[in-house]
Amino acid sequence: MTLPNLIKCCIFDFDGTLVDTMGGFADIAADVIERHYGIDFEQGRLKYLETSGIPFFQQLEIICPNGDKNNICADEFESRKLEGFFDSAPTDETIAGLTMLRRADLRLIVSSNNFQENVDSYLKKYPLPLDLALGFDNHWLEKGRPHFEKAQELFGMKPDQTVFCGDSLEDGVRAKDCGLFFVGMLGTFTREQFNKKFPECLTVKSILQLAELVVESIR
């Protein structure tokens, strides 16, 4: 499958896509779940990754439905994940890819379920060439349709002019439900896992690789 030639906007998931944080987050989540619920570390880590793409407090409701320690786990996770979050600098390939897309005059947007204040603080420390960065704001302006519609409202982009790049299967579901072209970022999930869920899904190993595909498609 190839990218369409009418792309005007690229929307990126944040954790695991623009910034390589998912491995560290999975370790923290597994430790928290193991200590509070007694679930084996490796099993907890797998469950975290399988349910990634939504806020952790929502993941907990899937992993431990109605668990009496879910709020404690969520608070501890959010506190601990900040320890390494701000030390995870964007890679040279990510910066090069975003720069290439910017030079091609595309709109560049972040859609993250990390809290808005965390995304803002990260981008203050590591400025990236973005037009808009949207996070989870506790008013259900969240990754997926709410963010996509906000971006379309601000920039006038149509769904079929937009690529959404994310590292989770849930990211793909969000894109497909809203008519966006989805590209899977390899790492959290394999190419085979993406293709099983989304046949012939395009996958990339870096933002630079994505940029090269997008720029080639719109020439």
Residues 166-187 have pLDDT tens digits of 999 999 999 999 999 999 999 9
Please state, as a whole number, how many other Cβ atoms lie within 10 Å of the Cβ of residue 18: 29
- In this prediction, residue 52 carries a pLDDT of 86
| Bigger pLDDT: 105 vs 21 | 105
Same domain, 151 and 210: yes
Q: What is the DSSP letter of 207?
A: H
Which residues 6+ apart lie within 8 Å of 2 measured at CB?
Answer: 202, 217
Residue 218 is predicted with a pLDDT of 92
Give strand pairing partners of 183. Answer: 165, 202
38-65 pLDDT, tens digit per residue, is 999 999 999 998 898 788 999 999 999 9
DSSP 104: T
85, 105, 139 - which closes a domain: 85
Q: 73 near 33, Cβ under 8 Å?
A: yes
Domain count, the chain: 2
The pLDDT, as a whole number, for residue 217 is 94
- CA-nearest of 195, 154, 142, 179 to 14 is 142
What average pLDDT does the chain have?
Answer: 93
Q: Which of 23, 20, 29 is nearest to 126 (CA)?
A: 20
Is pTM, for the whole model, over 0.75? Answer: yes
Asked, for residue 4, whether it belongs to a domain, the answer is no
Q: How far apart are CA 12 and CA 3, in angstroms?
A: 16
Domain assignment of residue 78, yes or no: yes
Give a yes or no: residue 129 inside a domain: yes
Phi-psi region at 105: left, alpha or beta (left = phi > 0; alpha = psi -120 to 50):
left
Pair 113, 146: CB distance under 8 Å: no
Q: Are 81 and 111 members of one domain?
A: no
Token pair, residue 143, equals 């990754």
Residues present in the chain in total: 219
SS3 state at 212: helix
Phi, psi for residue 51 in degrees, rounded to 5? -105, 10
Check residue 33 and give its pLDDT: 97
Average pLDDT over every residue of 191-217? 96
| The pLDDT of residue 11 | 98
Residue with tokens 């204040």: 117
Q: Are residues 100 and 206 in the same domain?
A: yes
Domain extent for 105:
9-20+89-218
